Structure 1
Amino acid sequence: MNQKYHSLETSGLEDVLGDVDRAVKQGVEHFLPELKTGEVGRVQSVGQGIAWVDGLGQVQFEEQVQVGTRVAGMVLDILPDRVGIVLFGSSESVCAGDEVRRSGRVLDVPVGNDLVGRVVDPLGRPLDGRGRPDVVDYRTVLHDAPRIMDRAPVVRPLQTGLKVVDALIPIGRGQRELILGDRQTGKTAVALDAMVNQKGKDVLCIYCAIGQRSSGTARVVDALARNGAMAYSVVVVVDADAPPGLQYIAPYAATAMGEHFMDTGRDVLIVYDDLTRHAVAYRQLSLLLRRPPGREAFPGDIFYVHSRLLERATHLREELGGGTLTALPIAETEAQNISAYIPTNLISITDGQIYLSPELFQKGVLPAVDVGKSVSRVGGKAQLPAYHKVAGALRLSYTQFQELESFARFGTRLDDLTRRTLEHGRRVRAVLRQPELLTMSAGEQIAVLFAVSKGLMDEVPEVRMQEAETAILESVTAGIPDIEEAITRAGDDDPVWDRLIQLISTAIGPFKEAYADAGDIGPQNPDRP
C-alpha cells in the first residue's frame, strides 16, 4: 500500500514539474529583449552642497537628477568635461564614485488644492506631521514669467488691514511691493497682517520662509493658525541648516505653487521671507561652482535671479482667467543702508517699497513705516476711491510734521502755526499706530483717517487717542450700519461725509472736554515743542 501511494505522489510531482518546464520554455521563446540606453554619470568630488559629475554629456540645464540612492539634485553648471550639480540633501550622503542618473525632466514641484493648509518643503514633502499631499499635477519650478501681452493693468486693491499701508502706500493685486528694513523692525509682522486680513476675501496666501530659524517659522505658523489664516494658506519652509541648493529653489517652488491657482483665475498673495538670505545662498552656490565673484562677492547674474522670480507676479488678462499673483518680498538692510547691493537691486525690480525705520520702532510707533522713504508706484490706481479723500492730506501733513519735529527740538518757543502743525502731526502718527494682527476693514480705516485728516481729533490728548479711535468706530458702526458699502464707494459730494462728521464729533466730544484737564498736554502750552 505504501509503495502504491508513493508511486502516485511521485507521478503527480513529475507532472507539475513538466508543466513548469513547458511554461518556462514558452516564456523564453516569446521573450523579446528591449535595449534601453541611458546616461549614467559618476561623482568626481562632492562637498558643501555641490557635486561635480562626469559622464552626463546630454544632460539639460536645470534638469533634476538622482545622486546616489538617497539625494536629489539639479544641474546648475554645464562645462565641457563635467557638470555641476546642487544637492537637495546632505552632502555626507554622497561619495565620490556614486552613480548619477538623469530624470529626463526639468525640476518640478507638486501643486494642487491639497497643499492648502499644509506646511511643506520646496519639493512638496510634508513638514507638519501629516501624510503626503494628494498630487494633482506637477509644475516646473524655474520657468519664464508671463509675457507682456498676457498681462493686464493692476486695478484692484489688496487690503492689508494696516491704516498706514492702505492709505499712504496702497498695494494692488498683481503688484510687487518690497518690505525692507533692519533686523527686528517688524517686516514679517507687516506681511503677516496682510495675510491675516485676507480672511473671507477669497485670496490664497503663500508664506515662503528662506533660511529662517525653526522657532521663528513655528511662531509664524502658530500666528496664522490662531487667526484662522492657515485655512487659506500654504507655508513653504527651508531652514537655515538646509543645503543652499534647497534654499535657492524655495521661492521659485512657492511661486510655482501659487501660479497653479493664479492660472485658474484666483488671487494669490505670496510672501518671500527673505530674499537677502536667498541671495546669500545663491552666492554660496556660485562661489562653490567657481563662478567669478562680483560686487560683494555676489555673482554677476544675481539681479537676473531675483528679477526672474519677481517678474512672475502679475495680473493676467481676462482671456487667461484674470488671476493675480501679488508678491511681498522682504529684504534686510544693515544700519539703515537701503543703497546696499541687494536692496538696491530689489528696489529697482519691484513696484515700490515699504521701509521700516528702527528709530520709529524704538519709539514704539508700530508698524514702524517711514512714510517718507516708502512709495507705491502702482497701488494708487487700484486704491478705493474713498481713500483719495484722506490720503493726500495725510501724507502732506505727516511729511511736514516729520520735518518740523526734528527742527523744533532746537527751539524754545514756536509760533502758533508751527505748533498747530506739530500737534496735528502727532495725532496723525498716533492714529497710524496699530497693534500687530489687529487689522481693520476699509470702512473703519477711512472713518478714523477722515477724522484725523479733517483736524477733528487735534484737541484730543495724545494719551487718549486710542480711546477716541475706539469711540469713533463704535459711533460710526452704530450710526451707519452698512459702513463698508457706504464709505468705501462714496464720492466727493456724497452726504455720507457730512453724516460721518456728525458721528465723529459726537464720539470725541467727551475727550475734548477732558482736554482742558490734561494740564501740560495740548497746543495751549506754548513752550511745548
Structure 2
Amino acid sequence: MDNLLQTIFNETLSLYDRVLSTHPPDLRSQEIGIVQSIGQGIAKVTGLPHVESEEIVRFAGGTLGMVFNLDPEEVGIILLDASDRLRAGFEVRRTGKVLEVPVGDTILGRVIDPLGRPLDGKGAIRTSQRRPAERNAPAIMDRAPVNVPLQTGIKAIDALIPIGRGQRELILGDRQTGKSALAIDTIVNQKDKNVLCIYCAIGQRSTAVAKLIADLEEYGAMDYTTVVMAGGEEPPGLQFVAPYAATTMAEYFMEQGRDVLIIYDDLTTHARAYRELSLLLRRPPGREAFPGDIFYIHSRLLERSTHLHPDLGGGSLTALPILETEAQNMAAYIPTNLISITDGQIYLSPGLFQKGVLPAIDVGKSVSRVGGKTQLPAYRSVAGALRLSYSQFEELEAFSRFGTRLEESTRLALERGRRVREVLKQPQYKPMPVATQIAILLAVTEGLLDAIPIGQIGACETAIAQVVAAQLPDLCDRIERGEALSASDRASLLRVARDRLSNSNNNSETGGTP
C-alpha cells in the first residue's frame, strides 16, 4: 500500500512539473503550503515543493517571509513581519519574487524600513523602480582606483586616518565610546559636497534613532540622507535583510555616477540576528555559536562598496560599518572578520573617552590602508610626521609617569604632544573645513601654540579659523581644490596665525577682548 501511494505521489509531482514547464511562470505562485510550527521570527512550512531560496512568501493575513532553509521535508522561513497573528495550520503562498526595494530620488529625506515602507508619516514611497536587495558586487574590471577623498570634517581622521570615496573603513570600539557620533558627524559634513548618504540602523532603539533623525534635520542633513531602520523590536529577519536593502538603494545612485556614503549601525547586531535565525532553523553552530558562513554574509555586503570605472559613470559607494567590541577585544571573532574585510579601521578607546579626549580615536590602533593615496596634498605637507610624533608622545607620556626629573627636550616634547592632543579634540556636530584644519595643524606642529595654556587652545583654534577664512580666501579655495602647499603658502598661514595669536595675547594682558 505504501509503495502504491508513493508511486501515485511521484506521478502527480511529475505531471505538475510538466504543467509548470508549459505554462507561464506565475502559475508557481499558486503553490500553497501549510505552517507546521512558528518560532521567534521563523516559521517551518510544508507543501511548497518548488519554492526557491530567498523567495518571498506571503502568509495568511499578509505577513511576509523569506525562504531561508530548503530541507527535504520542510522549508525554513524567516519572518519579515511580526508573528503574533500566525498559527500552525495557516496557509502560505509563493510570490515567485525575491526581496525587492524601491530606489530613486524619492527616498531621499525619508525614513523607511528595509521593505521600503515609510516610517515617517509622510505618505507612501512613490518610485518607478524596484531592485533586488541581494545583488552581485561589481566585477574587478568594473572598478577604478580610489583617488578622491571623503572629507569627514574631523581633524583626527582627515589628517591621520584619511578615507577615500569608494573605501570601506570600519569604526569599532566598546559601548558608548562615540562610534555613531563619528558617523553622524561625517554625514553632517557632506552638506554641499554632492555626496548622498544612507544611514542603516540595525537593532537600534527607536528613541535613539528618532533623536538622530532630529539632529540630522536640525543641521540640514536629511535633505540628502535616507534612514533605513530595522529597530530592536522588529523581527530578526528584518534586521538581517536591512543592510542589503540599504546597499541596493545606495547602489542605484552610484550607478547614476553619484557619490554615496552608507553607514551600517551596527554589524554586531546584524551578526547576532543572523546567529539567532540560524540556530532557530537548526543550522550547525561553529565558533561562538555563529554559523560557518558568518564571514560570507559580511563580505558579500561590503564588497558592493567601490569606486566604479569612468566608463560606468564613475560613481562611488563608501561604507562606514560600525562594530561594537567587548572589553576592548579587537581579536574576537566578528571584529577580526570585519577588520580583514575592510580597508582599515578607526578604533575608539574607552580610556580616551573617560579622559574627555573626544572623539576618542586611538591613533596607534587606527589605520587607513587606502585613504592615504587620496589625501589632499596640503595634508601630507602638514601632517606627514604628525602621526609618528603623536604616537611617540603617547609612549613618552606613559614612561614619564615613572620619573620625577625630565630632561628639557623631553619636557618640551611632552608639552608639544599635549597641545597636539588638545588640537585633535573636536565637539560633535562641528565639522571643520579643510583649510581651517590645515592652518591649525600647521600652527601646532610649528610650535605656535607651545606657549599657550592648554585651557586656551580651543579659543586659539577659533581665532585662527576666523582669521584664515577672512584674510586668505584664495588660499583656502586652492587647498580645497587639491593644490599642494608651497613655501609661501605655509609662510602666509603661519604669519596670519602668529599675528592673531599675538593680538590675542596682547589683549588678554591689557584686559581687552581677544
User: Structure 1 length as normaliser, TM-score?
Assistant: 0.89
Letter in 1 for 2:378: A
Match in the other structure for 1:434: 426
**Does residue 1:457 correspond to 2:449, yes or no?**
yes
Aligned counterparts of 2:27 and 2:82: Cα–Cα separation in 1: 31
TM-fit CA distance, 1:113: 1.0
Query: Which of the numbers 285, 298, 307 marks the counterpart of 1:315?
Result: 307
Q: Does 1:415 align with 2:411?
A: no
**CA–CA separation in structure 1 for the residues paired with 2:236 and 2:484:** 53
Moved more, 49-58 or 162-171: 49-58
- 1:483 Cα shift? 3.8
Label 1:490 to 1:460 Cα distance change in 2 as closer, same or farther (>3 A). farther
Q: Per the alignment, in what secondary structure is the counterpart of residue 48 of structure 2?
A: coil
| Separation in 2, partners of 1:342, 1:515 | 53
1:260 corresponds to: 252
Tell me the equivalent position of 1:305: 297
The amino acid of 1:507's aligned partner reads R
| SS, match of residue 203 in structure 2 | strand
Equivalent-residue separation in structure 1 for 2:332 and 2:456 (angstroms)? 40
Superposed CA deviations along residues 296-327 of structure 1, whole A, max 9, x for unmatched, are: 11111000000011111000001111110000
Post-superposition Cα deviations, 1:243-274, rounded to whole Å, max 9, x if no partner, equal 00000000111101101111111100000000
Q: CA deviation at 1:514?
A: 9.2
Counterpart amino acid of residue 503 in structure 1: V
Q: Distance in 2 between matches of 1:118 and 1:275?
A: 22
Q: Provide the C-alpha distance between the structure 2 equivalents of 1:213 and 1:313, rounded to a whole number of angstroms.
A: 27
Equivalent position of 1:491 in the other structure: 484
Match of residue 153 from structure 1: 145
Q: Is the 8 Å Cα contact of residues 469 and 476 (structure 2) preserved in structure 1?
A: no
Distance of 1:430 and 1:511 partners within structure 2: 19
CA distance in 2: counterparts of 1:494 and 1:157, whole angstroms: 24
State yes or no: 1:343 paired with 2:335: yes
TM alignment of 1:15-26, pairs within 5 A: none
Deviations 1:131-180 (A, max 9, x none): 00112211110121111111111000000000000000000000000000
Q: 1:64, 1:104 within 8 Å by CA — same for their partners in 2?
A: yes
Inter-partner Cα distance in structure 1 for 2:367 and 2:329: 17
| 3-state secondary structure, aligned to 1:312 | coil
Check whether the contact 1:460–1:512 (CA below 8 A) recurs between aligned residues: no
Matches within 5 A, 1:11-410: 38-410=30-402
1:506 aligns with 2:494: no
Residue of structure 2 in register with 1:474 after alignment: 466
User: Is the partner of 2:171 in helix, strand or coil?
Assistant: strand
Letter of the 2:252 partner, please give it.
H
The 8 Å contact of residues 459 and 515 in structure 1, kept in 2 or not, is answered as no
Query: Could you tell me how far 1:515 is from its partner in structure 2?
Result: 10
Q: Distance in 2 between matches of 1:458 and 1:100?
A: 72
Contact 1:160 1:198 in 2 (8 A): yes
Mapped to 2, the partners of 1:514 and 1:292 lie a distance apart of 72
Counting matched residue pairs gives 484
**Corresponding residue SS for 1:499:** helix
| 1:36–1:350 Cα change, 3 Å | closer
Change in 2 beyond 3 A, CA 1:325/1:490: closer
Letter in 2 for 1:59: V
After superposition, the C-alpha distances for 1:451-494 in whole angstroms (9 at most, x for unaligned) are 11112211111111011111111221222022432334343534
Asked which structure has the greater CA Rg, the reply is: 1
Q: Distance in 2 between matches of 1:36 and 1:478?
A: 70
Unmatched tracts of structure 1, length 5 or more: 1-33, 518-529
**Residue deviations 1:25-77 (CA, integer Å, cap 9, x gap):** xxxxxxxxx99563211111111011111111111111111122220010111
| Preserved contact between residue 34 and residue 91 of structure 2 (Cα < 8 Å) | yes
TM-score of the aligned structures, taking structure 2 as reference length: 0.92
State how far apart, in whole Å, the 2-side matches of 1:204 and 1:491 are: 28
Deviation readout 1:94-137 (Å, 9 max, x if unpaired): 11121111111111111111110000011010101110011221
- Cα distance in structure 1, aligned partners of 2:507 and 2:293: 61
Q: CA deviation at 1:90?
A: 1.6
Equivalents in 1 of 2:470, 2:143: separation in Å?
42
Offset of 1:511 from its aligned partner? Answer: 5.4
Amino acid at match of 1:262: M
Contact in 1 for aligned 2:42/2:76 (Cα 8 Å): yes
Between the aligned partners of 2:113 and 2:446, the Cα distance in structure 1 is: 50
